[in-house]
Amino acid sequence: MKTQPLRLLPDTIVMRAVMILIGALVAMSLVGYWVYRVGAEGLATTARDKGLAERIVSIKRAVSAIPDEIERDRAAHALATASLEVHWSKVSLVLGNAPVTERSRAMEVRLRELVPEFGTESFRVGYADDGALNAGEGDAYKHMLLVSVKLDDGTWLNFASPTFGTAHHMAGNILAIAAIVGSLIILIAILLLRWVTRPLRDLAIAAERFSLDEAREPVSELGPAEVRRAAKAFNTMGDRVRRLVSERTMALAAVSHDLRTPITRLRLRSEMLDDESTRNLIDDDLSEMEMMINSTLEYLSVGVAKEPPKAFDLATMLRTIVDGEADRGQPITLKGIEHAPVLGKPVAMKRAMWNIIGNALKYGNTATVHIKPDGAQVLVEVLDDGPGIPDAEFERVFEPFYRIENSRSRQTGGTGLGLTIAKSIIVEHGGTISLHNRQRGGLRVSVRLPVKLVETAMPGSGKCEDASTRQDHRNMRF
């Protein structure tokens, strides 16, 4: 037996496809987001830096034009905004020996590019976080870009601007939108995939319900190419199986039909014999041949026979079988309910019951048949007083042509099909059959069949009105 591999992947095609889709969507979003971030941030930073540089230049010019030192500081404060602090002082805020980092150099180059006038000015660029300031001032200018511009008189204008990133505020919204759109896409994908894989499910259902019983509607060859192909292959296979089985069945039926003629002739010929004992022996042999032909045909016809399902009374059926066997002098009794309506094929079911009871009488010496309700089922038990059978044989006795060693003797005969036929018929009716060895010896065969009819189907119930009419008839006649 193949062991079930540990299942890491989801089970259905739909779920697997959805997993793949989710993976692809997430990967695409990440790449897109990254491309967007790099591009948009680049643009935003350039625009911001350009604005910053221009403002620095214009503030520097405005402040340079004021000769008074007190006025200069006031003007610098007046020109400051939330995004750009401006202080006038005698010294540069950015140290002359401020470390030149990558971003400070980039900023310096960018300022020079954007505002060519700066080319001649002396200025210093640094980031507070990179250690561009005196240790004492580092905390006050945390996360700030600092630019110190030297005025013509040797004093300094110090600019400080936060190193903010606008893109961070948008990120949350973008992720939420991406999640909603992604979910919608996945939902639509699930519906579409279910639609696409529906022919596959139909195919599986058709395969489960496949039977030889009748020419079923072929599976519709719709859906994607792979499924169409599978459906077509299934239909072809079904036809082939049906044809094969029907050819073999026909061949066997033809043989047994052709055997009927010589057997009929032999019966007529043996009737001409004056020696009665020989005649009886020939008749017995002919009966055995007939029985073998019939049981083989019955075995082949289970599930194929066209017998229409009907409501029938299992209890009266058992009554007929038991009475018939009792009349032949067999030690057999029937106990239990008088009526047990079930739905099924009465001819087939009678064969099944007769086979089980016949087995009990043949190998078990006696037969006691019980019929009783068992929940939603009806239970038929056939008990005998024979030797029983070894537990190991319980399954094998249902195999076709299998016979337990001691039943192969010529006296008991048999084709080894009785229980096989019985089980096939019972299973076809949705029932079960099981064997048990009885404690005090003998075999117990338990058959459970579903009661598909409601209780009102019991004969006799609901006949109150009829009873009064009947009463009238009786009064009239007597």
Partner 1 sequence: MEKAATASPSDHGNILVVDDDSEIRLLITKFLQRHGYHVHSSGDALGVLESLRRFTIDAIILDVMLPGTTGIEACRQIREASPVPVILLTARSEEDIRVSGLEGGADDYITKPFSPRELLARLRSVLRRSRGAGQTIEIVSKGRILFDGWNLDTLRRELTTPEGVLIDLSTGEYNLLVAFLEHANRVLSREMLMELAKTRTSDPFDRTIDVQISRLRRKLETSETTGQIIKTIRGAGYIFVPKVTFG
Q: Which residues bind partner 1 (CB under 8 A)?
A: 253, 257, 260-261, 263-265, 267-269, 271-272, 283, 286, 290, 294, 297, 301, 310-313, 316-317, 319-320, 323-324, 327-328, 338-339, 341, 346, 350, 453, 456-463, 466-467, 469-470, 473-474, 477
Query: What is the b/e burial string over 401-439, where b = at least 16 CB atoms within 10 angstroms of the residue's CB?
Result: eebeeebeeeeeebbbbbbbbbbbbbebbebebebeeee
What 3-state class would DSSP assign to 201?
helix
Residue closer to partner 1 by CB (options 110, 350) is 350
Using an 8 Å Cβ cutoff, are 442 and 383 in contact?
Answer: yes
Residue closer to partner 1 by CB (options 107, 342) is 342
C-alpha dist (Å) from residue 57 to 91, 157, 276 = 18, 10, 140
Q: How far apart are CA 423 and CA 434, in angstroms?
A: 9
Q: State the minimum distance, in angstroms, from the CB of residue 438 to partner 1.
A: 28
Q: How far apart are CA 455 and CA 462, in angstroms?
A: 11
What 3-state class would DSSP assign to 226?
helix
Q: State the minimum distance, in angstroms, from the CB of residue 320 to partner 1.
A: 5
What 3-state class would DSSP assign to 350?
helix
Q: How many CB atoms neighbour CB 52 within 10 A?
A: 21
Residue closer to partner 1 by CB (options 292, 435) is 292
Residue closer to partner 1 by CB (options 2, 328) is 328
Q: For residue 69, which of 54, 50, 92, 89 has the smallest C-alpha distance?
A: 89
Residue closer to partner 1 by CB (options 8, 268) is 268
Q: State the minimum distance, in angstroms, from the CB of residue 378 to partner 1.
A: 13
Q: State the minimum distance, in angstroms, from the CB of residue 374 to partner 1.
A: 19
Residue closer to partner 1 by CB (options 157, 422) is 422
Using an 8 Å Cβ cutoff, are 75 and 205 in contact?
Answer: no
Q: State the minimum distance, in angstroms, from the CB of residue 257 to partner 1.
A: 6
Residue closer to partner 1 by CB (options 87, 370) is 370
* Token digits of residue 390: 């070894």
Q: State the minimum distance, in angstroms, from the CB of residue 296 to partner 1.
A: 12
What 3-state class would DSSP assign to 359?
helix
Q: State the minimum distance, in angstroms, from the CB of residue 407 to partner 1.
A: 26
Which residues sit opposite 161 in a β-bridge? 145
Residue closer to partner 1 by CB (options 232, 470) is 470
Q: State the minimum distance, in angstroms, from the CB of residue 309 to partner 1.
A: 11
Q: State the minimum distance, in angstroms, from the CB of residue 197 to partner 1.
A: 43
Using an 8 Å Cβ cutoff, are 339 and 303 in contact?
Answer: no
Residue closer to partner 1 by CB (options 71, 466) is 466
Which residues sit opposite 158 in a β-bridge? 87, 148
Using an 8 Å Cβ cutoff, are 423 and 396 in contact?
Answer: no
Backbone angles phi, psi at 295, to 5 degrees: -70, -35
